[in-house]
Structures are given as structure tokens and as C-alpha cells.
Structure 1
Amino acid sequence: MVQYPEMRAQILETLRALADPEHQRQVWVEHRPPRPGYYDDLDLNISVLFDDTIIAEDPCAHIGKTLHNENEAQAVQALVDVLDPFIESLPRGTDDATAISMPAWRDVVEAARRAVTVLERTSG
């Protein structure tokens, strides 16, 4: 059990968005949300990890709060390890279509997929 299950759900939703190129294309690029009032883009997902939940700063510090164990923390850290330099490499004002078409984005998607798998396995 974690202390902040709603925050965990938000983190997991973010990881799923980062792990799903089809979602990224439809929602971030083509602006076709799955339901009215839904909004999602790359900036929002970065904000969840780095600003709103600050899990990207130190995933291990979130064990018991939003993460169940060290395996989850390591999976999130592996994502941060590729996402952070990717973000830093983007020229200012890069749109989502350009960002997700960059070769390095594939590493972000793969790390996010692994993190989703680990967190979903623990969540049951």
C-alpha cells in the first residue's frame, strides 16, 4: 500500500502516455482526445514527473508514498535517466510532433514501457 494512491495513479497515467506512441500521435500531434474535455501533451507529462509529483528528482524517496518498492523506483529512475537528457537536448519551442519523431524518443518510450510493466505488476 502507498500513502498517496491518487498521485500514484497520476504517475501511472503519465507513464502510460509516455509508453504509447499511438496515443502520442493521436492526442499530442493530431489533437484527437479520447473523450471531451481530455487534454494531454508532452509538456503536461514532463510536468507531472518533474514538477507536480517531483518523483523524477529521487524516485527512491517515493517508496511508500507513490511507489511500492525499489524495483518500481529503479524503473522510474531508468526512465528519468533517458527522459531528462532528451528534454535537455530539445531546442526551445520544439513541438510535440518533432520531439516524438526524434530517434532518441524511442529510448524514452521503451523505458516508459518497462516502468509501466513494473508498476502494473506491483499494483496487480
Structure 2
Amino acid sequence: MTQVRFPGMRTVVVEAVEHLADAEYQQQVWVRKEHPHEQMPYTTDDAVHALYDDTSVFEEPEHAVGNVLRNKEEAEALQPLKRALDTVFDELGTDLDDAEYATAPQWAVVVATARSALAVLRASEP
């Protein structure tokens, strides 16, 4: 398996995709607000910043290969998730809270594409 230059940043990407893929977590924490008080919940903002800003895997996937992503397949697997999130934000805006996103009909595509991307990311793990 190809190693990455910045494994810590890779962990951030995988964690973001895991949370976007986990509809159960989203319902429990984002919608019902059931989470341990000693931990801050992982939010849509956290995922967006991780994937768009902090690691640039959405904005420059080809540059992320070798740095944060292991291969071209991982970069390609993230693109449907980016399109799904872009669609949600184009249609609903960027000012909703986590529960509003998680309960919007468009969000199901985000969860599905995140699950697919996560499968590829996990398949590349050593």
C-alpha cells in the first residue's frame, strides 16, 4: 500500500467521511441531540472544513494523492461526495444546523456517497 506524506491529515479526511456516512450517528447526535456532554459532537461544519479547507481533498484531489490520499481511486471516490455536498449547499444554503441537513431529503445522497467513498478509503488501509 502506498503511504501518505501527512497521515494525520488523512485521519482527518477519513473521520470526516465516516461521520458523513453514519446516518445513525447523525440522527442520534445531530437530530435528537443525544451525545456525551464531555465530548463535542462532530458537526457538518467539521466535515466541510476538513474536506474543503483543511486538507483540500475536494478542491485539489490530484494534489492530495500521495500527501493525504493513497491513490487516484481514493481521489475519484471522493468526487461524488463533493458533488452531493455541493448540491445540498446550493439547494439549501450553508446556514442550516446539523439537524436540518440530516433531515433534508437531499441528505440521503450525501450519506450514500460518503459510504461509497469510505469503502474505498478503508480498502486502501494497510
State the TM-score, normalized to the length of structure 2: 0.89
Q: Hey, what does 2:14 align to over in structure 1?
A: 12
C-alpha separation in 1, matches of 2:79 and 2:123:
17
- In structure 2, relative to structure 1, the CA distance for the partners of 1:34 and 1:6 (3 Å cut) is farther
Matched, 1:86 2:88: yes
Q: Is contact 1:75-1:114 (8 Å) kept?
A: yes
Q: Which residue of 2 aligns with 1:53?
A: 55
Aligned partner of 1:37 in structure 2 is 39
The answer to whether the 8 Å contact 2:31/2:102 transfers is: no
- Residue 23 of structure 2: aligned partner: 21
- The CA distance in 2 between the partners of 1:34 and 1:72, in whole Å, is 32
Question: How much does 1:33 deviate?
Answer: 2.7
C-alpha contact 1:28 1:42 (8 A) present in aligned 2? no
CA distance in 1, matches of 2:67, 2:80: 19
CA distance in 1, matches of 2:36, 2:82: 27
Q: Where does structure 1 differ by over 6 angstroms across 4 or more consecutive aligned residues?
A: none
Please tell me the root mean square deviation across aligned C-alpha atoms, in Å.
1.6
| Structure 2 portions without partners, runs of 5+ | none
CA distance in 2, matches of 1:114, 1:41: 20
**CA shift at 1:37, angstroms?**
2.4
Q: Secondary structure at the residue paired with 1:123?
A: coil
Aligned to 1:114: 116
- CA drift at 1:51: 1.4
Q: Does the CA-based 8 Å contact 2:57-2:75 persist in structure 1?
A: no
TM-superposed deviation, 1:93: 3.0
- Tell whether the 8 Å contact from 1:4 to 1:65 is kept in structure 2 after alignment: yes
Structure-1-length-normalised TM-score: 0.90
- Tell me which amino acid in the other structure corresponds to 1:123: E
The amino acid that maps onto 1:112 is A
